[in-house]
Structure 1
Amino acid sequence: MLACLALCLGATVADDPLPDPDDRPADLGKPVQVYLMLGQSNMLGFGKVAGRNDGTLEHATKVKGLYPYLVDEDGEWTIRNDVRLVHVQGSGLGGGRILHDEFLTVKGARIGPEIAVGHHLGHAIEAPVLLLKSCIGNRSLGWDLLPPGSEGYEFNGNTHAGYRESPLSWKTGTRPQPIGWYAGMQYDGDIARARKVLDSLATHYPGSRGYEVAGFFWWQGDKDRYVEAHARRYEENLVRLIGELRREFEAPDAPFVLATLGQTERGADGNDGLILDAMLAVDGDRGRHPDFKDNVATVYAHPLSRGGASNSHYGGHAETYLNVGEAMGRAMVELRSRASREAEPERSRNGGKTSVERERWEVDGFERTALIHLPPLTPGEQAPLVFAWHGHGGTARGFFRNLGIQKHWPEAIVVYPQGLPTRTKLTDPEGRRSGWASDVGDGPNRDLRFFDVMLEDLVGRGIVDPELVYSTGHSNGGGFTYTLLMERGNRLGAV
């Protein structure tokens, strides 16, 4: 135990400090990278800002000299012009209110983990970043935040509610008497309020041109400690939560970072120990869910806490919220880095012959990109070519990882194009997310032109058998494949 704690603390101290943010805005030509921050009062944030007593942010930065990136040379709080923070809060299905809507800085009487998280993401990402916090305190994963698809279950003679059932529990064999709240009501409300912000993104991130949901942060668990059934069910509910959030926001490969409760130490028993074990179980490196490798990380918060407990908001100690935020931010940056190493240009271990390349073309004044799997080819050899078009809101990188045609047909050249912000009538009328223009009107179709340019280039290199060109896609990408069949069927062998 002592060795583990020393290792965790050592990692915190040894990491290179962040530089002061510069005044440059992000590249607004890139889609906004949206990170959702969810949970209960841990995520809400109760770190005290003002005061010279130990435990406040002012004492930590201006007396102890910690977190220097938060204070400029004039002693004022720094501002990140490449990261915006929006915090929307409401109870249940209520409309809610906006508590923060500004470029990232210390503002108000209290802070949460978002301050440190945002500085790490802003430093690592060239694109604009939006931290979208949608949460309220005193909510449990086993009841208020229960994700869709969760089924009811029996425990100690009582039936516990599944998603959208009410009340929380009732004696098995009796008829439940619904109350004015249902399982998952806070989940539904938090997601609806987050979507409302995204639907009016230009209001909250002026000058933005579309967005991608790039990741999720979760810090919660306090209320589940008081119901044994919820504590025992926490791992199952957490696994479902991760999957449902990714499905809801059409981000199947988006990394997910969570933090444990600060007061709970490894080896704890009772409900606290059950919840800690559940949180550690989903960690991609050391947990028991292989599908979460390289895309889920758990921050063990006990060594980072400066005392107190989650039910007392850690005594308002600002360093707890900054320490946990820094660890969560670093974890997210690391998961992003792993995904990039997998998808960006790199040579495989197969003698340096097979490669995955990110290639770029200029199409009608726009830079277009795609990931391309290139098999080993001898001089003069030609290979089949497959185009794989991601769904609306998806990414080339995500489709590369999740569809993985190259794993099943390694001899083929497989192209994963990246879409542009695209309007859809029902789900994205403002065109905030990436997709494909399937309609063919009087003018040129930008994505048909993209297909033409890619195909001409690859065939022109002499590496493609022009009789073996195929196309496939998911959802909106499947619709575009149908458009290709209608408009470019003479160039395709099959779809």
Structure 2
Amino acid sequence: MTAIEASQSSPQLVRIVSNSEAKPLKVFILAGQSNMEGHGVVSMNGKRDYNGGKGNLVWSMKHSQSAEKLKRLKDEQGEWVVRDDVQISFKVDDKVRKGGLTVGYTGYGGSSHIGPELGFGFVMGDYLDEPVLLIKTAWGGKSLFVDFRPPSSGGEVGPYYTRMVEEVRAALAELGDQKYEIAGFVWQQGWNDMCEKPAIAEYAQNLVNLVKDLRKEFDSPNLPVVVGELGNGGPVTSGDMFEFRKAQEQGTRQIKNALFIKTTDFARPAELSPNTTHGHHWFGNAESYFLIGEALGEGMKQLLKESAPNR
């Protein structure tokens, strides 16, 4: 991994060239709704107050519980690190953003926000000898009950299930003759389902069906899967959020070679976060988003180790 300066404009495609060139590319599909899109504030450079900068990434690198580990996100010149061993592809509207992993691969454009991809990609890049590609597909406000509804759940197939598959296939087609392996699936989603009791009731089975259908779609019957808990706001002991989290975990436990990743410990208070009224987006807290991604990465690493114990 090398550190190079991140462009302030949309990152461009960089073909992975390293001593790992001959090794098959490890591809991870990252999917979900707005919390996979990413709302962790990096720095608004004075354009908006955003609670005086509290909880954004620049602030968190100095003042958060994770300050020490976050420091590696900048190089010695104070520029955002861009990984040359981890590439990312993320379609936003009609434009596909591609390049080395760094801050900014969200729906906002530029480098103003992060999502779970950053922490996840750093874990995978550090662990794997092979080059890595993250294919991110995410849209805000979408449920598994309707929008991502998989074929095996019956009824109308969700349009965003179809778009997810199409976008992954398009990104893979861009690789040309480069060898690759689809190495894992990461699912961070659930707010819209949590808001509807019928969706909560079906969620566990819909999650099982989603993974089953994607494994069939990509001819990977044992594809490793990590599911991120809807941990917004921290621990709860009752209500729809409590019931939904149970459904998430129950569904994941029914899936072979899958792990449910707890995230409630990563919740930070609104008063120490950029967007004090946006609890559905972790209050925009960058530390939260990085830690979620890191935990998803550690879970994926565990599954990969179990399938290749001599790594």
Shorter-chain TM-score: which interval?
A: 0.7 to 0.9
TM-score (norm. length: structure 1): 0.53
- Code of the residue aligned with 1:340 in structure 2: it is A
Q: 2:164 aligns with which of 190, 210, 219?
A: 190
Distance 2:37 2:171 in 1: 18
Does residue 1:97 correspond to 2:95, yes or no?
yes
Distance 2:61 2:234 in 1: 27
CA contact (8 A) 1:36 1:217 kept: yes
CA contact (8 A) 2:232 2:279 kept: no
Distance 1:239 1:54 in 2: 39
Determine the structure 1 residue equivalent to 2:83. 80
1:274-353 to structure 2, matched below 5 A, reads 274-283=243-252, 287=253, 289=254, 292=256, 295-307=257-269, 312-341=280-309
Q: 1:111 aligns with which of 110, 114, 133?
A: 114
Cα displacement (A) at 1:73: 1.6
Structure 1 residues 370-422: Cα deviation after superposition (integer angstroms, max 9, x where no partner): xxxxxxxxxxxxxxxxxxxxxxxxxxxxxxxxxxxxxxxxxxxxxxxxxxxxx
CA contact (8 A) 1:61 1:71 kept: no
Higher percent of residues as strand: 1
Structure of greater relative contact order (alpha carbons < 8 Å, 6+ residues apart): 2
* CA gap 1:26/1:331 in 2 versus in 1, 3 angstroms: farther
Cα displacement (A) at 1:53: 2.0
- Code of the residue aligned with 1:217 in structure 2: it is V
Structure 1 residues 71-125: Cα deviation after superposition (integer angstroms, max 9, x where no partner): 11221111211000111145xxxxx431x21101123111101011001000111
Distance 1:274 1:231 in 2: 7
What CA RMSD, in Å, does the superposition of the two structures yield over aligned residues? 2.2
CA contact (8 A) 2:33 2:140 kept: yes
* CA gap 1:310/1:128 in 2 versus in 1, 3 angstroms: farther
Structure 1 residues 305-361: Cα deviation after superposition (integer angstroms, max 9, x where no partner): 2145876311111011011111111111111001112xx59xxxxxxxxxxxxxxxx
The sequence identity of aligned pairs, in percent, is: 32
Structure 1 residues 250-283: Cα deviation after superposition (integer angstroms, max 9, x where no partner): 1111110111112265553333222200122244
SS of the residue corresponding to residue 83 of structure 1 reads strand
Distance 1:261 1:192 in 2: 26
TM-score (norm. length: structure 2): 0.82
* CA gap 1:128/1:195 in 2 versus in 1, 3 angstroms: same
Aligned residues: 276
Distance 1:249 1:26 in 2: 28
Distance 1:278 1:195 in 2: 29
- Code of the residue aligned with 1:28 in structure 2: it is E
- List runs of 5+ in structure 1 lacking aligned partners: 1-20, 91-95, 152-161, 165-182, 203-207, 346-495
* CA gap 1:311/1:222 in 2 versus in 1, 3 angstroms: farther
CA contact (8 A) 2:25 2:130 kept: yes
- Code of the residue aligned with 1:97 in structure 2: it is K
CA contact (8 A) 1:261 1:310 kept: no
SS of the residue corresponding to residue 201 of structure 1 reads coil
Determine the structure 2 residue equivalent to 1:49. 42
SS of the residue corresponding to residue 189 of structure 1 reads helix
- Code of the residue aligned with 2:132 in structure 1: it is V
Distance 1:264 1:53 in 2: 20
Cα displacement (A) at 1:25: 3.1
* CA gap 1:89/1:252 in 2 versus in 1, 3 angstroms: farther
Distance 2:187 2:278 in 1: 14
* CA gap 1:318/1:274 in 2 versus in 1, 3 angstroms: same
Structure 1 residues 440-470: Cα deviation after superposition (integer angstroms, max 9, x where no partner): xxxxxxxxxxxxxxxxxxxxxxxxxxxxxxx
Determine the structure 2 residue equivalent to 1:139. 142
Who wins on radius of gyration, i.e. which is larger? 1
CA contact (8 A) 1:111 1:321 kept: yes
SS of the residue corresponding to residue 85 of structure 2 reads strand
Q: 1:243 aligns with which of 212, 230, 237?
A: 212
Distance 1:268 1:303 in 2: 15
Q: 1:257 aligns with which of 226, 233, 254?
A: 226
Structure 1 residues 201-242: Cα deviation after superposition (integer angstroms, max 9, x where no partner): 24xxxxx72211110001000001222100111000011111
Higher percent of residues as helix: 2
- List runs of 5+ in structure 2 lacking aligned partners: 4-16, 46-51, 105-110, 271-276
Cα displacement (A) at 1:188: 0.5
Distance 1:307 1:254 in 2: 36
